[in-house]
A and B are shown apart, each in its own frame.
Chain A
Amino acid sequence: MPVLAFSRSSPHRRVKELDDRDLLLQMAEGGERPNSTAEAALDELIVRKSEVLVNVAFRVLGDREEAKDVAQMAFVRAWDHRERYSPQWSPNTWLYRIATNLAIDHLRSRQSRERMHEPLRLQLRHRQESTSARMMSELGEKEVAAIFDELASELTEKQRAIFVLREVEGLASAEVAEIVGCQQSTVRNHLFNARKLLKQRLMERYPEYAPQGSAEEQLS
């Protein structure tokens, strides 16, 4: 049976020693032949970045399999546009940009909004010393994901992507602006509106988690 053999001097071994930026440069310069150094670089990029890209796509789309599809398409697109990569850009920003735009497109093209659903009424976990913030902080990840999925369906695709990148991924506004291709002020506007809507819906549909009193009152 034919077996793909990796030799010590193969391009596959060398790419492991490259940082992300050099990997992308090698992808751009390494040629188009099968098993070229460019393909080896792409292969290594997939190993390093699959989980990162799947996660950002998952948080935008809310579906693991769709997120994997989008991540795959992002790698193919990164390959197609490899000559456009410039070393002045952060590799992560470049890849995030491709994946986020694909995720936004994917979100827009969903034929039916099957993820729009009736408000989920989660069972309250009654605790003796329950405050709403404490109850919220006790929620499991799956419950958080379910609530987000429900509430974020009312955001625009861009609002959702920006909220995910800034609040969930923790990226700086400047980087988010670069990824989604807009001004920082626009990012802040989208973020403000996304937070406002999410907060409103959280209060409406899950009033048991509504904050009780201001932070100053809690401090006194």
Chain B
Amino acid sequence: MTVERPFADGGEVRCMDADRLRDTLRDASVRRAAMRRHVERCRSCREAALAQDPTTLFRRLPKVELSADEVAEMRQRVKGVQRARRVGGAHRPAGSIRSAWAAAAGMVCVLGGLAAFQASTNPTAAPLNQTVAAGTTGDRPVLSALSAEDEAHLDRALASRALIEGDDVLSEQVVLMQVAGRASDLAWVANDRLDL
């Protein structure tokens, strides 16, 4: 019975197919890859390899499969980081994804503070309402025409959010803002707004 080491310092296998691979494949790296694939499929070779080196067990660590949504989310998050940096105007080290949710809560608090300030200084003005809904579903309001002042207001809010969240701009956020004292509702999808 032929004994063959499937890789330089791996286990031993003992079957005709393994012998054939060893005899026909001269390139070491190609042979190694082929033997490895064989050991995964051949029960007797796998058991022989395990008997020789139990750590070969860990070659079967599970593989992560990403859904199309997860890949899309990855793309959005990376784009969000790039955009936040452009808004912030400086290079920032990448932050934690998980801080994004805490940052969103911070954003709501800041805007809530703005609302309270506006209400206190102009009691007749409509309160500044903010609704932040993260997610990709739901109706998105139409982008309205913006006055220069509204633009400035939104830019400040956006810059504030970028500062709060660091590099992690949440994708697909819908922020509904009713500027105090104005009739128009300003509604925009965060990512689209950043593209303007």
A residues in contact (CB < 8 Å) with B: 1-2, 4, 34-35, 39, 42-43, 46-47, 50-51, 54-55, 58-59, 64-65, 67-69, 71-73, 75-77, 79-80, 131-134, 136-137, 139, 141-142, 144-145, 147-148, 163-164, 167-168, 170, 172-173, 188, 191-192, 194-195, 198-199, 202-203, 209-213, 215-216, 218-219
Contacts and interface: CB of A to CB of B under 8 A. Distances in A.
B70 A68 contact: yes
Main DSSP-derived SS at the B contact region: helix
A136 B65 contact: no
Nearest to A164: B61
B51 A76 contact: no
Given A79-B82, A144-B61, A202-B54, 17 more contacts: A2-B195, A35-B195, A54-B64, A72-B77, A136-B57, A137-B46, A139-B60, A163-B55, A164-B61, A168-B61, A170-B59, A172-B32, A173-B8, A195-B55, A198-B55, A202-B55, A211-B51
Contact of A133 (B47, B60, B91): B47
B48 A71 contact: no
B175 interface: no
A132 B94 CA distance: 46
Contacts of A211: 50-52, 54
- The interface residues of chain A, by DSSP majority, are classed as helix
B40 to A, nearest CB: 10
Interface of B: 1, 3, 8-9, 11-12, 14, 29, 32-33, 36, 43, 46-48, 50-66, 70-71, 74-75, 77-79, 81-83, 86, 91, 94, 96-98, 140, 142-143, 167, 189, 192, 195-196
Nearest to B139: A1
A43 B97 contact: no
Nearest to A170: B36
